[in-house]
Amino acid sequence: MRRSQRVSTSFGFLGVGLFCLVFADLSVSTLDPWQEMARMARGLVTPDFLAVDRLGEALLQTLAFALVGVALAVVAGFGLALVFHVRVVRWGCAFVRAIHELFWALLFLQMLGLTALTGILAIALPYAGIFAKVYSEILEEAGPRAANTLPAGSGTVSAFFFARLPDAFVHLKSYTFYRVECGLRSSAVLGFVGLPTLGFYLESAFKQGHYSEVSALLFLFYVIIATLRLWMRPRLVPVYLLIAPFVLAGGAEISLDNIARFFTHDIVPYPLRSAEVLDISAWTAFGTWTWELLADQALPGIVATLVLTQIALVGSGVLTLVFFPLVSRRFLGPVGRTAGHAFLVVVRSTPEYILAYVLLQFWGPSMLPAIVALSLHNGAIIGHLVGRFSDELALRPDHPRGLNLYAYEVVPRVYGQFLAFLFYRWEVILRETAILGILGIQTLGFYVDSAISEIRLDRAMFLIVITALLNIAVDGLSRAIRARLRLATTPEIQ
């Protein structure tokens, strides 16, 4: 029997992942992590909600940034989805979503300063790019059947609103809902670069080893995510959105001069800044500048980024297959599933950065903590989605049980969906490698962070554009593979 394409592709990726392991630095070098680990464990079981200053404020800010940012992205993304067949729009969207929201935040911090708009745009811009793409795919897949029954001569606009939109609406809604959860995570993480959300306090407390504060902040965050379905009601959205500005108001003033300076000076490569257009020596210097940046930072950064991404992709896949039964009706009863859900909420809502830092204490600096952190985080996200999908499977009354059910019935039947989710997540994993530079892994994100901390925005911009191109390439590859394997291009997220 010919081996299925899906299986051989899986083995191909497994092979690439294993090959990358050869180049990855996986050494374990910690000597005595136990003192710190014991403090972490103690902190975890003794959350101290009173220790965090301005806990309530941080919580409200996290919600406000997420909701306003996502709402703005929904509006922009929906508009763009309607003209997504225009090539420029498609490219523009691919570019904005290829840049991690943390990088957007860092750029807006330079341009707009610590204003609410910095946080809102850092979420809204990449999310608009994502919404535009996914919405247009959903609209496209919304069966043409309804449209075909329309009488000849029906206008495009009415065809859209009467035939296409109603059919797609439920999918648009559920995808948007899923994105709100992502928005909350993004909003919390933006605190790491200075916006006053939960991440701001979380990172500080973590850095200082105030683990009771860390666990208080994390618990609060888990509760918000776990109860999302209860408070995120369509009718309440306008209420939330109208309260949000009062929470966010009061930042610094936005100055047009700063914005102009950013574009006309800051991001112009240093050798060209004050040069005449025809100045040959400036262009030569620019050539050297570009070459050095490529050879010393971009290329090694790309290699490290890809090595980490490919290993973490395989790791995420393996963990997904382990995690999804924990929330699946096919394998566990209500009690077990509740525990499974709680576990996955914890693993997927803990920022990768924190997971990686905890593991750093165990294993010392190498690629290992980053690989495990990324695999856990993404494995939990995809595991959650695959688990839900497996609930929908109809089984024969005489289906096998236990391991046989898992291996011979459920896994083969969810495998296509599993691969679709995983390939969909590929590009996301690539983007997430950015924030793990702290571990001494010199991914592209590490060099971008260095350039920003040296206030060399020209270099930062150059490296960010390279990062974006790499993302676009991986996204294109993933799309091609999904098409070849006839996987859903848009994973159904219910």
Partner 1 sequence: MGQGWKPLGNFIRNIALPAIVSVSFVTAALAGDFVFTAIPDEDETRLRQRFDKVAVYLTRELGVKVRYIPVKSYAAAVAAFRNNHVHLAWFGGLSGVRARLLVPGSEAIAQGYEDRFFITYFIAHASTGLRPADGFPAGIAGRTFTFGSKGSTSGRLMPEFYIRKHLKQAPAKAFARVGFSGDHSRTIALVQSGAYAVGAVNYKVWANEMKAGHIDPAKVSVIWKTPPYPDYQWTIRGDVDTVWGRGFKARVTRALLDMTDTDLLASFPRKSFVPAKNSDYKPILDVARSIKLID
Q: In angstroms, give the least distance from the CB of 158 to partner 1.
A: 7
**CA nearest 319: which of 355, 353, 354?**
355
DSSP state of 253: P
Q: Judge contact between 53 and 105, C-beta under 8 A.
A: no
Selected from 24, 40, 99, 116, the binder of partner 1 by CB under 8 A is: 116
Contact partners, residue 6, CB within 8 Å, separation at least 6: 415, 416, 419, 485
Residues 45-74 within binding reach of partner 1 (CB under 8 A): 53, 68, 71-72, 74
**Nearest distance from C-beta of residue 152 to partner 1, angstroms:** 18
Q: Report the distance separating Cα 421 and Cα 487, nearest Å.
A: 9
Q: How far apart are CA 353 and CA 370, in angstroms?
A: 8
How far CA 266 is from CA of 194, 209, 261, in Å, comes to: 21, 36, 6
Q: Which stretch binds partner 1 (CB under 8 A): 95-103, 197-205, 326-334, 474-482?
A: 197-205
Question: Per-residue x/- marks for partner 1, 393-432, CB under 8 A?
Answer: ----------------------------------------
Minimum distance from residue 385 beta carbon to partner 1 (Å): 24
- Using rule CB under 8 A, residue 193 touches partner 1: yes
200 binds partner 1 (CB under 8 A): yes
Closest among 306, 351, 361 to 193, alpha carbons compared: 351
- Pair of tokens at residue 291: 């070459």
117 vs 226 by CB, closer to partner 1: 117
Closest approach of partner 1 to the CB of residue 373, in Å: 15
Compare residues 194 and 400 and give the one whose CB is closer to partner 1.
Answer: 194
Task: For residue 365, state whether it binds partner 1 (rule: CB under 8 A).
Answer: yes
Residue 454 in contact with partner 1, rule: CB under 8 A:
yes
Please count the residues of this chain forming the interface with partner 1, following the rule CB under 8 A: 79
To which residue do tokens 């060209």 refer?
A: 272
Contact (Cβ atoms closer than 8 angstroms) between residue 28 and residue 367: no
Residue in 139, 142, 311, 360 binding partner 1, rule: CB under 8 A:
360
Of the residues 205, 220, 428, 448, which one makes contact with partner 1 according to CB under 8 A: 205
Residue from 132, 136, 116 nearest 69 by CA: 116
* Binders of partner 1 in range 207-266 (CB under 8 A): 207-210, 213, 234-235, 237-238, 241-242, 244-246, 248-255, 258
What is the smallest separation between the CB atom of 421 and partner 1, expressed in angstroms? 26
Q: Does 270 participate in binding partner 1 (rule CB under 8 A)?
A: yes
Among 40, 102, 109, 138, binds partner 1 (CB under 8 A): 109
Return the number of the residue (273 or 486) whose C-beta is nearest partner 1: 273
Q: What is the DSSP string of 232-249?
A: --GGGHHHHHHHHHHHH-
How far apart are CB 456 and partner 1 at their closest, in Å? 7
Residue with tokens 């811009």, as numbered in its chain: 125
Smallest distance, partner 1 to C-beta of residue 64, A: 9
Q: Does 143 bind partner 1 (CB under 8 A)?
A: no
Q: Least distance (Å) from partner 1 to the CB of residue 282?
A: 14
Supply the minimum distance, in Å, between the C-beta of residue 8 and partner 1. 37
Q: How far is CA 45 from CA 173, 214, 348, in A?
A: 38, 11, 19
Residue closer to partner 1 by CB (options 14, 241) is 241
Which of 140, 90, 103, 74 has the alpha carbon at shortest distance from 476? 90
What are 15's two structure tokens? Answer: 């092979």
Residues 16-35 that bind partner 1 (CB under 8 A): 25, 29-33, 35
Tell me the window of 309-317, 329-337, 424-432, 453-461 that interacts with partner 1 (CB under 8 A): 453-461
Q: Say whether 333 sits in a helix, a strand or coil.
A: coil
DSSP conformation class of 434 = G
Pick out residues in 302-331 that bind partner 1 (CB under 8 A).
none
Q: How far apart are CA 21 and CA 221, in angstroms?
A: 34
Q: Residue 233, CB half-sphere, CA atoms under 13 Å: how many?
A: 5
